[in-house]
């Protein structure tokens, strides 16, 4: 019989809050180029790739490809500067404990992040040993909301997608998880309410309750 065998975690907004650093880096680029960019604009960039983020920041304005590349590199250099300052204290509240409890259930654990810097971030957080697989912005061509990344991570964990639960904080990530055929837990804002289940954060997830709720639905599905 099918049962839940893996958890796949988004990184930014689920394990740590790098969204603020993405904001500061994009804001610096936008200010230098005279483009308007607010915290609200930044919210729409959660979970989407660097290139898609730049396209959204440009709000319909077009740039030659060489400039697109140069702007993305510049933003990333600013972002990498901010990452110098992060460490184990930047793991979100309750996450370490949650990951340890997952191990007690023999779950395989993976990261599914749109970020090309995901491995570096996980290393700086001191969590590299906590995950069996890290899927990042280099793993697949089509990033969230395409299903590819979560299918890739589930495959690397050797678990069928329907036996994996994805934890996501962004609408693009929930769309990707559902399109992949995974179970999805939305964390945080109302924007993720189309997930199968929602909690304010990982710290609030009751693990036995979550597993039995998903298991009941899996058994009903046959
Ligand atoms: P990079 P996630 C995403 O991370 C961020 O939420 C998003 O704001 C960022 O644009 C994307 O990674 C790409 O990041 O520029 O570092 O490759 O939420 O999928 O962990
Ligand atoms: Mg996220």
What residue ranges do the domains of the chain occupy? 6-16+91-221, 19-83
Domain spanning 19-83: CATH superfamily? Putative phosphatase; domain 2 (1.10.150.240)
Mean pLDDT (whole number) for 33-50: 94
**Residue 208, pLDDT above cutoff 90:** yes
Q: Which of 57-66, 98-107, 122-131, 213-222 has the lowest mean pLDDT?
A: 213-222
Q: Which of the two residues, 110 and 217, has the higher pLDDT score?
A: 110
Given 3.40.50.1000, 3.40.50.300, 1.10.1370.40, 3.30.300.30, which CATH number is that of 6-16+91-221? 3.40.50.1000
Model pTM score = 0.96
Distance in Å, CA 171 to ligand 2 centroid: 9
Is the CB–ligand 1 distance for residue 49 below 6 Å?
yes
Closest ligand 1 atom to residue 170 Cα is 18
pLDDT-derived band at 190 (thresholds 50, 70, 90) equals confident
β-strands 108-112, 6-9 pairing: parallel
Mean pLDDT (whole number) for 141-156: 97
**Residue 222, pLDDT above cutoff 70:** no
Q: Which of 12, 72, 79, 125 to mutate to test the pocket of ligand 1 (most atoms within 8 A of CB)?
A: 12
Report the chain's C-alpha Rg in angstroms.
Answer: 17
What residue ranges in the chain does DSSP mark as E strands? 6-9, 108-112, 133-135, 164-168, 183-187, 197-199
Is the CB–ligand 1 distance for residue 171 below 6 Å?
no
126, 150 Cβ separation under 8 angstroms: no
168, 175 Cβ separation under 8 angstroms: no
């Amino acid at each position: 019989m099918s049962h839940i065998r893996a958890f796949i975690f988004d990184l930014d907004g689920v394990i740590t809050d790098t969204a603020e650093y993405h904001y500061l880096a994009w804001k610096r680029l936008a200010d230098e180029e005279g483009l308007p960019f607010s915290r609200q604009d930044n919210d729409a960039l959660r979970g989407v790739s660097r290139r898609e983020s730049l396209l959204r920041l440009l709000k319909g304005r077009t740039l030659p490809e060489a400039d697109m590349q140069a702007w993305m590199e510049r933003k990333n250099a600013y972002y990498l500067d901010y990452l110098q300052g992060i460490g184990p204290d930047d793991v979100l509240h309750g996450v370490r404990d949650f990951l340890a409890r997952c191990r007690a259930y023999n779950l395989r654990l993976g990261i599914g992040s749109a970020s090309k810097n995901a491995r570096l971030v996980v290393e700086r957080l001191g969590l590299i040993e906590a995950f069996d697989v890290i899927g990042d912005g280099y793993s697949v061509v089509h990033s969230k909301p395409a299903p590819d990344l979560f299918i890739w991570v589930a495959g690397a964990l050797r678990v069928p997608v329907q036996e994996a639960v994805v934890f996501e904080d962004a609408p693009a990530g929930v769309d990707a998880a559902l399109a992949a055929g995974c179970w999805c837990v939305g964390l945080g804002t109302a924007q993720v309410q189309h997930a199968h289940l929602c909690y304010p954060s990982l710290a609030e997830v009751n693990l036995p309750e979550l597993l039995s709720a998903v298991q009941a639905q899996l058994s009903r599905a046959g």
